[in-house]
């Protein structure tokens, strides 16, 4: 596959861009694979990519009932951070954040990683104490975060009102190397490299049944026919529990929708990510100028990908 570079872009500019290959191949499923990964989002495609890159395993199919990155990967608020409290959470999220630092170069695809910083506001005394505890846990585990004062919050985000009125800003936990990335580009970059390794990516292929022999999974029934496999990996976010039920076991996962919105593009007003847990909201601004605003999770289990009537915009 042709490498994306300045020279290739320069060359194609004089060829009317007719020499570019498709980013990933469209393939039909084979009868059998060593591994089938269900779910072509960021996690599923990353699983296939690192199996190929680190372990030379390429007899893999990644199957997706919709399209690449069409589930949770393409429907999130793009925040990348590792400022968690528990050691197990810190380790996995910091490893992920560290991978993002060079992921564009590793994939040869611009994922638009922007380490603009993540600011977690403290708006109650309880939250201030909790964030101080988190900052100590981060320091012990080698994560670069620090507590900042209200005046320092104002310096980082000049438009913020630190006086309240209802919840004044008492301080914040600041992670300077946290940030955002283009979620679609993450999926596309992984898909491109997977295809380059010879991994089959099969879209519009829904799992409708699991084939078992002596309590071992030996294949899947899909809308594109039966596919045999030595190993099967369910990487379908909340829907992994639905797939597990088809296979005859239960995953302790409950799925809920989290509401968010994206505004029309406006002039730049904020250059970091601001999170306010007290009011359960978080805000960043995309490269196009859109305000990306996250809200709360629904209070009941569901698999919906639609906005609810309770999440309304008011007239200005």
Q: What is the CATH number of the domain that holds 20?
A: 3.50.50.60
pLDDT score of 308 more than 70: no
Same domain, 28 and 142: no
Same domain, 12 and 153: no
pLDDT (tens digit, 9 = 90+) per residue, 28-81? 999 999 999 999 999 999 999 999 999 999 999 999 999 999 988 988 889 999
Domain boundary among 222, 247, 272: 247
- Residue 43 within a domain: yes
Residue span of the structural domain in which 15 resides: 6-75+184-247
Same domain, 155 and 10: no
Domain boundary among 247, 271, 289: 247
3-state secondary structure of 233: strand
Same domain, 162 and 46: no
pLDDT score of 194 more than 80: yes
Same domain, 66 and 169: no
Q: What residues contact residue 207 under an 8 Å CB cut-off, 6+ apart?
A: 38, 63, 65, 220, 221, 222, 243, 246
Among 17-31, 115-129, 154-168, the range with the most confident prediction by mean pLDDT is: 115-129
Q: What residues contact residue 259 under an 8 Å CB cut-off, 6+ apart?
A: 294, 295, 296, 297, 298, 307, 308, 310, 311
Same domain, 214 and 188: yes
Same domain, 175 and 192: no
Question: 129, 117 in Cβ contact below 8 A?
Answer: no
Q: How many structural domains is the chain composed of? A: 2
Same domain, 47 and 148: no
- Residue 156 within a domain: yes
Dig out the tokens for 93 from the structure.
Answer: 């999220």
Same domain, 284 and 162: yes
Same domain, 133 and 171: yes
* pLDDT score recorded for residue 309: 52
pLDDT (tens digit, 9 = 90+) per residue, 247-278? 999 999 888 888 888 999 999 999 999 999 98
* pLDDT score recorded for residue 316: 46
Mean pLDDT on 104-125: 96
Closest CA to 193 of 39, 54, 7, 29: 54
* pLDDT score recorded for residue 200: 97
* CATH number, residue 271: 3.30.9.10
pLDDT score of 83 more than 50: yes
3-state secondary structure of 119: strand
223: left (phi over 0), alpha (psi -120 to 50) or beta: alpha
- Residue 310 within a domain: no
pTM, 2 dp: 0.91
């Amino acid at each position: 596959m042709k490498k994306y570079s300045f020279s290739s872009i320069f060359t194609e500019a004089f060829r009317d861009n007719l020499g570019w290959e498709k980013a990933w191949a469209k393939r039909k499923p084979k009868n059998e694979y060593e591994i089938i990964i269900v779910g072509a989002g960021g996690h599923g495609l990353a699983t296939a990519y690192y199996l190929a890159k680190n372990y030379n395993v390429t007899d893999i199919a990644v199957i997706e009932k919709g399209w690449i990155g069409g589930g949770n990967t393409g429907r999130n608020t793009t925040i990348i951070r590792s400022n968690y409290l528990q050691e197990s959470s810190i380790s996995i999220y910091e490893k992920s954040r560290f991978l993002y630092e060079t992921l564009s170069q590793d994939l040869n695809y611009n994922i638009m990683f922007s380490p603009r910083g993540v600011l977690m506001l403290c708006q109650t005394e309880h939250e201030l104490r909790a964030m101080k505890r988190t900052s100590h846990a981060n320091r012990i585990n080698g994560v670069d975060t620090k507590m900042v004062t209200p005046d320092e919050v104002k310096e980082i985000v000049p438009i913020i009102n630190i006086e309240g009125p209802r919840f004044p800003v008492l301080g914040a936990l600041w992670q300077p190397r946290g940030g955002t990335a283009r979620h679609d580009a993450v999926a596309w970059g992984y898909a491109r490299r997977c295809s380059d390794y010879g991994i089959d990516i099969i879209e519009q292929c829904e799992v409708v049944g699991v084939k078992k022999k002596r309590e071992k999974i030996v294949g899947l029934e899909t809308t594109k026919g039966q596919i045999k496999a030595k190993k099967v990996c369910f990487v379908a976010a909340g829907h992994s529990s639905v797939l597990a039920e088809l296979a005859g076991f239960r995953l302790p996962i409950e799925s809920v929708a989290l509401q968010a919105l994206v505004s029309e593009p406006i002039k730049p007003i904020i250059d970091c990510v601001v999170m306010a847990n007290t009011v359960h909201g978080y805000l960043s601004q995309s490269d196009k100028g859109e305000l990306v605003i996250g809200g709360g999770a629904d209070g009941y289990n569901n698999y919906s990908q639609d906005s609810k009537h309770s999440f309304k915009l008011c007239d200005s």
